[in-house]
Structure 1
Amino acid sequence: MKALLPLTAALVLALSACKADDHASPADTAASKEPAPAASVPPASLPPSLPEPGEASGQPTSSQLAGWQGYGDLKLGSTVEEARQAWGGELNSSTPSEGGSCYQLTPKWATDKADVAFMIEHDHFVRYDVTTSKETAPGGGKVGMDEGQLRALYGDALSSMPHKYVEGGKYLSVSQGKDKLVFETGADGKVTSWRVGLPPQIDYVEGCA
């Protein structure tokens, strides 16, 4: 009889465990089967923004500069001192002709003094000249275009007259108020340079010469 007691006790313990499992709630069972939440991953940081064209070199872009009233912050009719202050950077200066008051200022970054030149006469900024295709004139004209392309941009407002020195070349001009834009074309009919300025300096075909 005493030998049966341990066996009976073991059976009682086994039955008690089965009943405890039967009373477990469905919610508890589902929770035990649900996977652990994944660790949150921080969003990748965005790369730093790239500089605008010309920003790294300090050279401003042409689309922001060439206008009817001037070149960037340099306004036609301003004094040479106002022009220098408005530009903010270094400007190279040509030597006025003997007995004259006309000379040119050029940006330090210009690869050639004729790429972009600011005409000063009687201590006032009166005109700027461009000979590079990297610049765009007011209205969309550029070095390298032909007369047909210019007329598509400026229409009947574009007037024409023969070039003083180049056979077959022309001066093609358009005005907006007192400001005037003049394109010069070569013998092949392509634009070689253009300028914007005030009268009478805008019509100096030799510049400050």
Structure 2
Amino acid sequence: MKSMLPMVLVMTSALLVTACKQPEAPVEPVTAPLSTAASSPVAATPAPAPAATDTAAPAGPVSQASFLGYGDMKLGSTIEEARTAWGGELNGAPMEGTTCHYLWPKWISRPSEFAFMMEEGKFVRYDVGTDKETAPGGGKVGMSADELKKLYGDALKSAPHKYTQGGQYLSLDAGDVAPTRLVFEADAVGKITSWRVGLSPQVDYVEGCS
């Protein structure tokens, strides 16, 4: 009787070779569940904010208005000092033969919304005609005269408007803070339409640089 051992060895070898040639099963990536603040001590790093462009309004607080100036721009500084403090492009230039003109940010569509008055080489006043800015003390375009009086109390002085029948100017001195004044303009129904902060006498120029 012949031994079966050689046949068994051949069959075993064949099976081993076949097994070695089988493709490996793909390894599925392990997807970890999203971690929460409670389960992970390391917070996710937020994506960096997109860089601001020259045509966009500057980031930061909605208003930087104060009795001293606007942001780093100080009332009474030279035009060049004011431009440097602003740090961006400003539109506007003086007309020949004039000593007073306005500058305004590139992102402003109309200077009546927000502009800086320059006179005799100095930054002397800034004008606001939009509700996107807040005056020192909390006043804003769109408020009523009564709301302003509640904010500022007896310190707010009233005077008739030069051009608007029934309108008024509501003004407030900065006192010891600075030699400046805040002036609101209200229409005939008592709604605030604009405001300005500046040095005297420029803050009282009703027609601006006109």
Separation of aligned partners in 2, 1:50 and 1:196 = 36
Question: Tell me, what secondary structure is at the counterpart of 2:85?
Answer: helix
Mapping of residues 45-194 of structure 1, within 5 Å: 45-48=43-46, 51=49, 57-96=56-95, 99-177=97-175, 178-194=179-195
**Unpaired runs of 5+ in structure 1?**
1-40
Separation of aligned partners in 1, 2:182 and 2:194 = 11
CA RMSD of aligned residues (A): 2.5
Mapping of residues 13-32 of structure 1, within 5 Å: none
For the 8 Å contact 1:62–1:136, the answer to whether it is kept is no
Q: Which has the higher helix share?
A: 1
Count of aligned residue pairs for this structure pair: 168
Separation of aligned partners in 1, 2:83 and 2:189 = 37
Q: Could you tell me which amino acid in structure 1 is paired with residue 117 of structure 2? A: M
Provide Cα deviations, 1:179-200, integer angstroms capped at 9, x if missing partner: 1000001112100000000000
1:113 Cα deviation from its structure 2 partner: 1.6
Separation of aligned partners in 1, 2:151 and 2:72 = 25
Question: Tell me, what secondary structure is at the counterpart of 1:86?
Answer: helix
1:58 Cα deviation from its structure 2 partner: 4.9
Q: Does 1:207 align with 2:208?
A: yes
Separation of aligned partners in 1, 2:190 and 2:48 = 40
Question: Tell me, what secondary structure is at the counterpart of 2:101?
Answer: strand
In our comparison, the structure showing a higher alpha carbon Rg is 1
Provide Cα deviations, 1:78-102, integer angstroms capped at 9, x if missing partner: 0000001111100001443x53200
**Unpaired runs of 5+ in structure 2?**
1-34
Provide Cα deviations, 1:100-124, integer angstroms capped at 9, x if missing partner: 2000000011132221100000000
* Corresponding residue number in structure 1 for 2:11: none
Q: Could you tell me which amino acid in structure 1 is paired with residue 209 of structure 2? A: C
Separation of aligned partners in 2, 1:50 and 1:131 = 33
Identity of paired residues, percent? 55
For the 8 Å contact 1:129–1:195, the answer to whether it is kept is yes
Question: Tell me, what secondary structure is at the counterpart of 2:182?
Answer: strand
* Corresponding residue number in structure 2 for 1:35: none
Separation of aligned partners in 1, 2:101 and 2:158 = 27
For the 8 Å contact 2:62–2:132, the answer to whether it is kept is no
* Corresponding residue number in structure 2 for 1:30: none
Q: Could you tell me which amino acid in structure 2 is paired with residue 114 of structure 1? A: S
- TM-score, length of structure 2 as denominator length: 0.73
Question: Tell me, what secondary structure is at the counterpart of 2:123?
Answer: strand
